[in-house]
Amino acid sequence: MRKKLLTVIVLGILLIVNPIATGKSNSNFLDKKSQTQMIDVTKISIGGIKIGMTEKEIIQKLGKPKSRTAKMRNYCHDTYETIWNYDGLKIIFSSDSKNESGRVEQIITSSPLYPTEKGIKVGDDISKAKKAYSTFATPSSRMASSKDLLVYVNDDYGGGLSFATDQRGKIREINLLAISC
């Protein structure tokens, strides 16, 4: 039974993905896809902070953090994670050793003080983020969305840019992630 169900699911996906099998043209899909590009998380910033920046660069830009936590991550190739907290901003660094200076791997903000490079900030309507980042995805391929979350995924890096919203559709958190383990 499982084998039959799996076969039906795979065939269904193939028919959806490959319109030639159904005799339908896929020109609209190709035209829309060619107008979009994959999001490059290294070009996105939150509060002027970018993926890959060093601890030294962050201190020059924001000063020392209010708090700093370092721990080993068992789930991610035995790397170390250092979390710096500012008011409404969390910067997560990754490094190979506890004593090594890390590079920014993730940036999370819940404050309007830290807009993206396109000016999108906490408190904005989600439609503003959709419009600003519309060139980065198609709903059928690299953008996942739900009622309270809009995510632009970068297939190459395994990370992406996400906007969490409240019940009124206002952005309550912006998250930029370089990679996922």
Q: Look at residue 25 and tell me whether its pLDDT is greater than 70.
A: no
Claim to verify: residue 70 and residue 155 sit in the same structural domain: yes
Q: How confident is the model at residue 44 (pLDDT cuts 50, 70, 90)?
A: very high
* Shared-domain flag, residues 88 and 171: yes
Question: Tell me, what CATH number does 92's domain have?
Answer: 2.60.460
Q: CB–CB of 68/84 below 8 Å?
A: yes
pTM recorded for the entire structure: 0.73
List phi, psi (to 5°) of 69: -130, 135
CA angle 37, 137, 141 (to 5 degrees): 110
DSSP state of 9: H
93 and 163 co-located in one domain: yes
Q: Tell me, yes or no, whether 81 and 30 share the same domain.
A: no
Residues 30, 92 within the same domain = no
Same domain for 25 and 65?
A: no
Q: Which of 4-8, 75-79, 87-91, 133-137 has the lowest mean pLDDT?
A: 4-8
Domain span at residue 19 reads 1-35
Number of domains in the chain: 2
pLDDT: which is higher, 17 or 173: 173
